[in-house]
Structure 1
Amino acid sequence: MTQDLAPSVRDEPAEQPCPDQRAGGWWRDAVIYQVYVRSFADSDGDGIGDLRGIRERLPYLAELGVDAVWLTPFYASPQADGGYDVADYRAVDPLFGTLSDADDLVREAHRLGLKVIVDIVPNHTSDQHPWFRAALAGGPERELYHFHPGRGERGELPPNDWESVFGGPAWTRTPDGAWYLHLFAPEQPDLNWDHPAVREEFESILRFWLDLGVDGFRVDVAHGMVKAEGLPDIGAREQAKMIGTQVLPFFDQDGVHEIHRSWRRLLDSYGAADGRPRVGVAEAWAPSAARLALYVRPDELHQAFNFHFLTCSWDAAAMRGVIDGSLAATASVGAPATWVLSNHDVVRHPTRYGGGERGLRRARAAALLVLALPGSTYVYQGEELGLPEVEDLPDEVRQDPAFFRGAGQDGTRDGCRVPIPWSGEEAPYGFGPGGSWLPQPDHWRELSVAAQSGDPRSTLELYRSALALRRELPGLGDGPMAWLAAPDGVLAISRPGFVCTLNTLGREVELPVPGRPVLATDDPVVDSGAVVESSTVRIAADSCVWWAV
């Protein structure tokens, strides 16, 4: 039932439940912290983060209040694309440590009550993978990839007009005249998932890491393993801009779902054996919330990243539309929604939201909003510090492969991957005993963990308080939600015993008091923590308030 929060407002729909049609699981309302391995903590002084560094910092994550850690790829790799070009899926790259370090990390995380999710990269391998090296030599391993003759009189043209996500053609010609498909960098040849050997190999790889103790997998490019029969032309340019807006012959093909169903059976078999559920998380770009929900049907993966919310503008009506669509789509298949503000592939949200003080205010408010919504939330390392995008990296230090190729992504992903600051007055701010693989800005000394710890006005303490309240307040996490009537530019949601109000406007708004303020991103409502005596309260511009009802 809709409640009034302010006069002169639009009509509101009835309560929108988020039903639990499947057995509950820890992932349904988990807060999962993404660690970009090379930029989190360096233990050996080479300027690159590693597994031992992560293990040493796990107590920080436990204190922060997250439930699980997601690690980006640390497998043996030439590092042509930050480790997403894997040469050996069962080995740890020496840059990041050893297999023993991985085992120690998982064990220590579990001791601290943290789950561990690792990346799996099934769409493509490295061009240094033994399979692909044999394929280049003309061996039968070519059937494990997409090798095709070219078009034109002498086969000098690519087999079709597909473009790489990083820009340029998605095909590279080999010395013997054949062409191979790579939807990303040329060093990342796409696997042929129609071949049973590919499916068997990845089931074996999943078992290897499950046996080591991991709690699940984030599936990279979960929408990309299956290509349309005949590899038809698209007939358009700038195809990277079409991803997530329409079904393409190389992405979001229906055939990917059988792969995910087989993986779900494998994950469930481990959970049934020891009572410790394992999860699969899809990184899937789909043109609609309804198509994204297909990846989290009851017999497929457990979660899918909500990129529609990540790309949403700072606008109350737009946010509400994405929230409604996401909750409706996931509820239709009994899955939890996920909420993501930043990750290692996008501009950090304080910068996306306008930059400077205004961008940070909005980022803090957005954090309280997503942590109040039903479902699971992902926190990208450093967002709890309010880190902005580093926009002035010199060209000579950049390593994003998209930076070196035209007409694809903008090539600015390095700016969100700069190593995070821990302590100290000078770079590398406690990141490690040496330097850092990307330079850190001078003003980050003010944003370090040490500088913000204990400061009640800091973004770090805001996150710590929010995550603690999320565990304490029974109405948060998985469960029902209703919209409350509110003025244009304001979102107000009701959970059992709880209300969240978000003001996206550049000015204060006056609202009836919905309850007792327990957390806010700005004055004046929470300084005393006492019940507000007046009948109305003014909410600051670009701010969010949590209320206990």
Structure 2
Amino acid sequence: MEKKAWWKESVVYQIYPRSFADSNGDGIGDLNGITEHLDYLRDLGVDVLWLSPVYQSPNDDNGYDISDYKAIMADFGTMEDFDRLLAEAHKRGLKIVMDLVVNHTSDEHPWFVESRRSADSPYRDYYIWREGKKGGPPNNWGSFFSGPAWEYDEASGMYYLHLFSKKQPDLNWDNPKVRNEVYDMMTWWCDKGIDGFRMDVISMISKDPALPDGPVDGLYGDTGPSCCNGPHVHEYLQEMNRRVLSRYDLMTVGETGGATVEDARRYAGEDAGELNMVFHFEHVGLGGGELGKWTDRRIPLRELRAVLNRWQTGLEGTAWNSLYWDNHDQPRAVSRFGDDSPLWRERSAKMLATCLHMMKGTPYIYQGEELGMTNAYFHSIGDYRDIESINAFHELTEQGLATEEEILHYLRAMSRDNARTPMQWNRTPNAGFTTSTPWIAVNPNYLTINAADEEADPESVLHYYKKLIRLRKQYPIIVYGKFLPLLEDDDAIYAYERRLDAQRLTVACNFTRDPQPCALFGSIKGGQELISNCGSHKPGMLQPYEAVAMLHES
């Protein structure tokens, strides 16, 4: 029998605070802006709010470079504002999950400031410092944000490791003092009353101590084999669980780049003593080309289905899935996996929602996804704020690997800034996000895609999400039913069945603009149509981007 848990039955809503709601007119979203919209989130029906980092930060990587884990970034408000947000959320039955970023800190964190001061500093071993080799870095690793993963320090003549920005030095988790500092900080937040952690790149905290060169991929070596799912990562997470997580009733989800289904069973197995669930990247990592993620390639349904089905069936009965189409690091779901043209945007957004929310696992909604918000399609590199996008533009154009227009084309498809444009609340200037100039441009389509208009339209994407969430709370089969794939060789229809006792839930989603023959529902007698995005379903055919979920007895 499946073990029941509140986090399995929850729907999570991710908030990117900088872009959610600006309460003080400085162009930057803030904590009070979130508090002002808690009723919207309660009415949507979600249970958990995951906040991207709100800690004190120089903001080199939009808050994922933390200089003080126990302080709030001034852009977002004060700790008193956070305490009020937490209290008001709890009043409404909403839980708060914090983003835990402990693979690295900011280079302005006091630990690193002291670490950098001297090779004899007691904080030197809080980070990963090494001597160079043959006048260069310790190895050939490349940063995920372009360039080398090592930064030379003139004062000491040594290099420090940064898998991301050079302003994000990696912590040395092999040092027990570092782990103790992290656990003490986590305990401080738990005692404050938060409800869990989303753990940023947690699969990278344990590196191969030999620091071997990685297989060359372009200009630099791939860090993955030595930095993802490393030799002590499970030991450290089990220690974290004993010291902190098991002492509270928390939801935990780890961002685990490079993790396989087998790895996930170790991270999130029912009895593993580590995490509740993980985020994998296999489905969003599909479609890469000669320039890696910078491509406009559409993902064939067979490839997408194969990945998602493997995770569904592979974790069945042993671990729990997290379900997502997009987040703050991915382009908008309807633009990448659906069809954001004016004719098909709403229907395909509803189709994607049906496909995801009827699967087994905890669904995550990224802010604006419930409105069918689209990619920004910026025209100039000057429009972008994301360090990854800006670095890629300059590196690829300067090396002659792509023209400026080519890389801008790929950024329009894949940049993280597509997800970071302001939340579209209404038709007033700047979409109701701010009364001044926003930190990043608002998508001009806010005049036709916004929360106010969708609240007033019972057929909107927003109301469709509300219905999906209600159904999840009403029918245990949606949460706990076993997943069985259907039509695995179909190039247009993603279909599957859920089973719980004598109940069956059949789900079919057309991923194309063309009608598709579908015989799945013709033989069902007396079934109950739980949801459809095309009105009442007519058996024998799925209309363009049609999605249907039918409940019936076996």
Q: TM-score range by the shorter chain?
A: 0.7 to 0.9
Instruction: Give the match's secondary structure for 2:144.
Output: coil
**TM superposition shift of 1:67:** 1.3
Aligned counterpart for 2:227 among listed residues 250, 273, 285: 250
Structure 1 match to 2:405: none
* Offset at residue 455 of structure 1 (A): 1.2
The answer to whether residue 358 in structure 2 is matched with residue 372 in structure 1 is: yes
CA distance in 2, matches of 1:242, 1:404: 21
Instruction: Please report how far the alpha carbon of residue 56 of structure 1 lies from its aligned counterpart in structure 2 after TM superposition.
Output: 1.2
Equivalent position of 2:129 in the other structure: 147
What amino acid sits opposite 1:145 in the alignment?
A: Y
Q: Indicate if the aligned counterparts of 2:105 and 2:168 stay in contact, CA closer than 8 A.
A: yes
Q: CA deviation at 1:360?
A: 5.1
CA deviations 1:126-151 (Å, max 9, x no partner) are: 01001111122112311111111111
CA RMSD of aligned residues (A): 2.3
Deviations 1:248-301 (A, max 9, x none): 112221311111112222345433xxxxx2122100012522223321122111
Q: Which residue of 2 aligns with 1:5?
A: none
How do 1:101-116 and structure 2 match up within 5 A? 101-116=81-96
Give per-residue Cα distances to partners, 1:356-393, cap 9 Å, x unaligned.
24465433212101110111111110101101111215
Aligned to 2:400: none
- Asked if 2 retains the 8 angstrom alpha-carbon contact of 1:393 and 1:415, the reply is no
Q: Distance in 1 between matches of 2:258 and 2:139?
A: 22
Matches within 5 A, 1:435-446: 435-446=437-448
| CA distance in structure 1 between the partners assigned to 2:61 and 2:220 by the alignment | 17
Deviation, 1:340, is 0.7
Q: Structure 1, unaligned stretches of length 5 or more?
A: 1-18, 272-276, 526-531
437-446 or 181-190, which deviates more: 437-446
- Aligned mates of 1:70, 1:170 — CA distance in 2: 29
Equivalent residue number for residue 168 of structure 2: 188
> CA offsets, 1:283-320, max 9 Å, x none?
00125222233211221111101322344565443343
Tell me the TM-score normalised to structure 2 length. 0.86
Selected match of 2:268 from 272, 275, 296: 296
The structure-2 alpha-carbon separation of the partners of 1:425 and 1:181, relative to structure 1 and needing over 3 Å to count, comes to: same
1:52-451 alignment runs, 5 A limit: 52-138=32-118, 139-152=121-134, 156-176=135-155, 177-238=157-218, 247-271=224-248, 277-297=249-269, 298=271, 299-311=273-285, 315-331=300-316, 334-353=318-337, 354-357=339-342, 358=344, 361-392=347-378, 394-406=380-392, 412-426=415-429, 428-451=430-453
Q: CA deviation at 1:232?
A: 0.7
How far, CA to CA, are the matches of 1:250 and 1:485 in structure 2?
Answer: 37
Contact 1:340 1:377 in 2 (8 A): yes
Matched, 1:516 2:498: no
Deviation at 1:478, TM superposition (A): 2.5
Contact kept in structure 1, 2:142 and 2:222, CA below 8 Å = no
Structure 2 gap segments, 5+ residues each: 287-297, 397-409
Secondary structure at 1:227 match in 2: coil
Aligned to 2:506: 499
Report the 3-state secondary structure (helix = DSSP H, G, I; strand = E; otherwise coil) of the residue aligned with 1:405. helix
What is the alpha-carbon distance in structure 1 between the residues aligned to residue 308 and residue 217 of structure 2? 31
SS of the aligned residue for 2:103 comes to: coil
Secondary structure in structure 1 of the residue aligned to 2:432 = coil
* Distance in 1 separating the partners of 2:74 and 2:142: 33
Show the counterpart of 2:464.
462
Quickly say closer, same or farther: Cα 1:485–1:167, change in 2 above 3 A.
closer
Aligned to 2:292: none
Counterparts of 2:465 and 2:142, CA distance in 1: 40
Give TM-score, length-normalised by structure 1.
Answer: 0.87
1:459-517 C-alpha deviation (Å, 9 max, x unpaired) = 11111111112212232113323345688232333333532211224322343433333
Q: Please say if residues 165 and 184 of structure 1, whose CA atoms lie closer than 8 Å, have aligned partners that are also in contact.
A: yes
Q: Secondary structure at the match of 1:429?
A: helix
Contact 1:446 1:452 in 2 (8 A): no
For CA contacts below 8 A with separation 6 or more, give which structure has more relative contact order. 1
